[in-house]
Amino acid sequence: NLNTSFGAQELCRPLLAEIDRLAARSAPTGPIRLMEVCGTHTVAIFRHGIRSLLPPQVQLLSGPGCPVCVTPAGHIDLCVQAAKQDGVVVATFGDLIRVPGSHGSLADARARGEAQVEMVYSPMDALALARRRPELQVVFPAIGFETTAPAIAATVLAAQAAAVENFSIIPLAKTMPAVLVELLKDRDLNLSGLLCPGHVSAITGTAMYEALVQEYGLCCAVTGFEPADLLAGILSLLQQQATGQPQVANCYPRVVDEAGNPRARNLLERVFEPVDSEWRGLGSIPASGLGLRPAYRHFNAVHRLGLEARILPEPPGCRCGQILKGRLQPPDCPLYGRVCTPLAPVGPCMVSSEGSCAAWYRYSGHT
């Protein structure tokens, strides 16, 4: 029942009591480290104060689930290069405009009068802009996970059908499973369980996490974004750990099922193919990105505009890479809250509304 209040105390109290009981039982073996790999989960966990409700044995880590945060500075540079070309406008989401590349952000370049940048709310808005302004080349940076990529695929198909020649994308979208495997190779992470992303899973289905259970013995729980959803996911992970029976538990069945959304997946498969992709802090991960299939490569702005990507180190002092891998928490960064704030962000984790540093800052009494 979607009208149920999933934040109701009568739902949450029993879940918390059971979490306390299981955590106390497993306490002698050390902290129980659970990771959420969805930026929306990160924000929901902070907004609902979930961390403060959990027993001290349960540690929550944030993973590489914010699409803007995992985009390396060199890829932001591609967007800035495009926006600086004569007759080109980059149409993108608001948070991407402020993410620093190696020589500043799209917002910086626009403020200096060097670049044309428009904020849009969807890729279809960018296509509409292209149709309204045929004298401009409109470039949409395709940044996101399986959640946003189907809308980008649908936009490419619409542009193809309408023969819109002044629209293109910078294909930078990423997919979830390969990066999770990459994280699990790091034994020091010592992860007990994964809160799997609810939105991504609505598209992909739950089956893609089975390999994590089979090959790495990882406890997995797909969960939603309300307090009771999050607590049910955490409880499921503790139960799996206590019984020694890892599995993929679906704690978000009102939205997610095993097969996912076949129409959205079909759109992805028609337009995109797996390609190696560069992740901030994690390097290049095979088959973790979405490149355009040959039939749609003329929509690739990188080729059309002759853009060149250079992968560069993090801004000096920024620990975004370590935070995205769950090795550090935002306050461990020497710049956090002093040099780096939401008003003057140094790294993308402080820019994006779903970034760990921004969420930590916003909900830790700074503002």
Which residues in this chain contact ligand SF4 in the complex, by CB under 6 A?
A: 318-320, 323, 330, 333, 335-336, 340, 346-347, 349-350, 357
Tell me how far apart the alpha carbons of residues 209 and 240 are, in angstroms, rounded to a whole number.
Answer: 15
Nearer to ligand SF4, 161 or 344 (CB): 344
The rounded Cα 169 to chain-centroid distance in angstroms is: 19
Is the CB of 171 or the CB of 347 nearer to ligand SF4?
347
* 90 CB burial (10 A radius; 0-12, 13-18, 19+): buried
Helical (H) or strand (E) element with 79: helix 73-84
For residues 278 and 64, give the distance between their C-alpha atoms in angstroms, rounded to a whole number: 13
**Nearest approach, Cβ of residue 201 and ligand SF4 (Å):** 27
Residue (105 or 250) nearer to ligand SF4, CB? 105
The residue whose Cβ lies closest to ligand SF4 is 347
CA distances from 24 to 32, 36, 54, 225, 261 (A): 11, 22, 11, 25, 39
Q: From the CB of 199, what's the least distance to ligand SF4, in Å?
A: 23
Quote the least distance from Cβ 17 to ligand SF4, whole Å. 35
Shortest distance in whole angstroms from residue 357 CB to ligand SF4: 3
Q: What are phi and psi of 15, to 5 degrees?
A: -65, -45
Closest CA to 148 of 169, 129, 122, 168: 122
Q: For residues 216 and 209, what is the distance between their CA atoms, to the nearest angstrom?
A: 11
CB nearer ligand SF4, residue 224 or residue 321: 321
CB of 111 to ligand SF4, least distance (A): 21
- Pick between residue 176 and residue 357 the one whose CB is nearest to ligand SF4: 357
CB of 347 to ligand SF4, least distance (A): 3
Output the smallest distance, CB 352 to ligand SF4, in A. 9
Q: What are the backbone angles phi and psi of residue 24, rounded to the nearest 5°?
A: -65, -35
156/296 Cα distance (integer angstroms): 8
Q: Is beta strand 58-62 parallel, antiparallel or unpaired with respect to 88-92?
A: unpaired
Closer to ligand SF4 by Cβ: residue 224 or 330? 330
The nearer residue to ligand SF4, 152 or 323, going by C-beta atoms, is 323
Neighbours of 190 (CB within 10 A): 12
Q: Which is nearer to ligand SF4, 228 or 340 (CB)?
A: 340
Locus of tokens 């089975």: 210
Would you say how long the chain is, in residues? 367
Check: CB of residue 225 under 8 Å from CB of residue 48. Answer: no
Distance of closest approach, residue 181 Cβ to ligand SF4, in angstroms: 24
